[in-house]
């Protein structure tokens, strides 16, 4: 029993599933490259948190940029390869087994895919062509694109490859 509610097995259709984490800590790999005289402080992801998720439902994790949403999801999904993680993750009261968790869960990574050989303006024109309804004519769609382009000084900037040349990773997110 937890707060008066019994914990359910994952196999039961459309019943609550409890995700428990207690003091889940993640030590980035760079923390171990620091000199020994510098105190290595872990990034505390969660402390004594219980999530209740209904099976067959999608959930969203929201927060400001840099809050650790991606790191938390990577650790929970077992996709964090660098660093060191300590703490307990339990699903319906049982310790999480990665093989089972990977079979019963879905995790969509955020990927910004743009042609590195076009400008920001050209990328927006292409996105407008793909995403706007067919009833919207070319002139109207170009008005939309021009209105968006007024919000940024990057009209003629080459998209490029994030981290190599062109836009930064942070600049690519709004473009998507």
- Tell me the mean pLDDT in the region 162-176: 77
Per the structure, the complete domain to which residue 80 belongs is given by 16-104
How much is the pTM? 0.47
Token pair 């400001």: residue: 64
Same domain, 20 and 63: yes
Same domain, 95 and 159: no
**Dihedrals φ, ψ of 154, to 5°?**
-95, 20
Domain count, the chain: 2
Query: 3-class DSSP state for residue 49?
Result: strand
Same domain, 96 and 124: no
Q: Which two structure tokens, joined as six digits, stand for 159? A: 């998209």
**Contacts with 144 (C-beta within 8 Å, 6 or more apart), sequence order:** 128, 132, 136
Model confidence over 28-71: pLDDT tens digits? 555 545 454 454 555 565 666 666 677 677 777 777 777 777 87
pLDDT higher than threshold 70 for residue 18: no
- Tell me the mean pLDDT in the region 6-27: 48
**Contacts with 171 (C-beta within 8 Å, 6 or more apart), sequence order:** 154
**Domain termination residue (choose one: 104, 137, 156):** 104
> Has residue 148 been placed in a domain?
yes
- pLDDT more than 90, % of the chain: 5
Q: How confident is the model at residue 77 (pLDDT cuts 50, 70, 90)?
A: confident
Query: 3-class DSSP state for residue 51?
Result: strand
Number of H helices and E strands in the chain, helices first, is 5, 7
> Has residue 115 been placed in a domain?
no
Element containing residue 53 per DSSP (H, E): strand 49-54
Model confidence over 97-131: pLDDT tens digits? 888 888 777 777 766 678 888 998 999 899 888 88
Q: Which two structure tokens, joined as six digits, stand for 108? A: 């969509």
**Domain termination residue (choose one: 104, 136, 165):** 104
């Amino acid at each position: 029993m937890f707060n008066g509610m019994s914990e359910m097995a994952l196999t039961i259709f459309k019943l609550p599933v409890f995700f428990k984490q207690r003091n889940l800590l993640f030590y980035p790999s760079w923390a171990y490259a620091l000199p020994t005289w510098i105190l290595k402080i872990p990034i505390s992801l969660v402390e004594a948190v219980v999530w209740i998720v209904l099976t067959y439902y999608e959930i969203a994790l929201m927060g400001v940029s840099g809050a650790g949403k991606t790191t938390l999801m990577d650790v929970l999904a077992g996709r964090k390869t660098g660093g060191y993680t300590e703490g307990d993750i339990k699903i319906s009261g049982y310790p999480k087994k990665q093989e089972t968790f990977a079979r019963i869960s879905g995790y969509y990574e955020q990927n910004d895919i743009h042609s590195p050989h076009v400008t920001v303006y050209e990328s927006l024109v292409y996105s407008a062509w793909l995403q706007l309804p067919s009833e919207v004519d070319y002139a109207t769609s170009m008005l939309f694109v021009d209105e968006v382009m007024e919000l940024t000084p990057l009209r003629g900037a080459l998209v490029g490859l994030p981290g190599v040349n062109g836009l930064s990773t942070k600049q690519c997110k709004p473009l998507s």
